[in-house]
Structure 1
Amino acid sequence: MRIGFAVPQFGPFADPDRTATMCAALETLGCHSLWAADRLLAPIIPPEGYISGKPMPLQYGTHLDPLLALTVAATVTERVRLGSSTLNALWQPPLLLARSLTTLDLISHGRLDVGLGLGWMREEYTAAGVPWQARGARLEETLDVLDAVWQSDPVVHAGSLWRIPESTILPKPQQRPRPPVLLGGFTPPALERVGRRADGWLGASMPLSYFQGLWAVAAKAAERAGRDPAGLRRVFRVNAEITASGADAAEAFQRGTVRQVCDHLRLMCTADNDEVLVDLQLTTDSPQRFLELAAAFLAELVEPVSAV
């Protein structure tokens, strides 16, 4: 199992100097990866589709740009993989997205994992001036453009949404044939796309029965496409709410002691290339506490569990 953490970029952590210091410290602790998230705004009125009409966490109203936050992380680290979980792929034209991601892969000397998703908040699409409808089709063509830019020379693309005349587009990413592309999502169409097109899935810690049903969709789609499902990576995000005492076992996929949350993550991570992504920005505002909890997760997940 690989262990990664969220890049500190929200709320009180939305300070480039603090982000840099904490990313360097997280690499020193021994994590495998660092992942930046993507938010544009936090509506005052609870947005459509959010949890039971609850207001969004205030932290999401203060944020750093994910690719620039990853650039900061790249300049202060040497070893860890750097990923986006998830970058909302449709908020900019795919050619511009390809240029930014190529540059970041070069800055990080080939350490970039490209995590893309569609997002879930209609209000952000409205604010960005991007159509909410036909998002799946737009993502499919976005992936086509990225592949063309990264793997072809010269580059040409003729699609229903974007056209690129035969062109020179250099440099290419350091990783060849391209950086790994992981896709997020929690619907059957999203998991079908993971199995058919992606290098892996950006999932989340969730009840096992729900997880197994979703993953079966990706596995079957991979097989239909002539791909080996065992070759797909899985990265499970947990927005951990850490409690001092034990929580209800039914909530352990996201809430409880460090041991409880890790016990559930161990149940989900059954393949050698599975990875957990622990986001601690909603459970503490303190950089010191963030790093203490990160060390606790690493100790729990890397070292053998002692007999009780």
Structure 2
Amino acid sequence: MSLVEGQRFHFSPSCPTLRSGEPRSPHRVTPQFCPGSRDPPRNSKRRPEQEENYDRRTSQRRMGQERGRNRGIGRGRFPASFFANHLPLERGPGGAVMRLLASAGLGEVLLLLLGSLLAHIHCEEVFGILGENYTFPVKINKSLVEIIWKKNKDKVAEWDEQSQAVYFTSLKNRGSLNNETGSLTIFNLEENDTATYVLEYLPFDENSVSLTFILTVLDPPSEPTISCNVSDDNLVLMCAADFKRPLTYSWDFGRITDYKQQQNVVFLKKNVDVSEKVTCLIEVSQTAKSSEFSLAECFPDLKS
């Protein structure tokens, strides 16, 4: 095999090479590169434009490697496992996702910044009953110097350590701000109190913090109703009320002692004294309602 001047070559294991200790033959060439390369080897001659492109690519590659070493990213001082185990949201709701992304090696620096931001984000959905007083579930165990409450981005209450609390718009004469815990109470809830509320507070010698609450004002639950079904040897009583959130149920059985209760369902023996009455009580927030039921309603034939 002979070399042709100007032909392009690339290194290949298939090219013949001189074995160690093998005598050189005048009829055998030991090529250092083979046809088909994109760039000739470094010790070969290049045209001026090739030399310029090669120098530019080499310089850019070295600059990128140097920036990576300075930042400690990738294959340097901080492997992906470091970020997977040291994110600020280790125990927060988004911690598992953040660690999963970090273990995949995706944007470690951005993940750290995002994790630090999410660690200070709080958003909670809450509800109140129309006509009731509602206090947002806030208890800050820090010394505060400033408190601001906003409703749909409009300021509704404000306090700082140099003055008393001030209330605006819809909370005038209907709001109460606790400057020790940061909580806000709305008296006599109205339908238009449904909104997104943001608490911004400034602890002493710290950065400000924001808490977001999405408040929904609901109609009070309906009066409970009790239905009865006769099944084998049991009477099955069920208490129900119309409400969009879970209710707490309790019962009053009078002189009846043999019963089994499962929240809003009660099992009584069929031979119970039908002259007895039971009462179902429902509770939610500050609202409580009850209904009474006569066991004789389970046996309409007896009434006639």
The two structures have a TM-score, normalised by structure 2, of: 0.18
Comparing both structures, which one devotes a greater share of its residues to strand?
2
Q: Radius of gyration: which is bigger?
A: 2
With normalisation by structure 1, the TM-score equals 0.17
Normalized per residue, which structure has more helix?
1
Which structure has more relative contact order (CA 8 Å, sep 6+)? It is 1
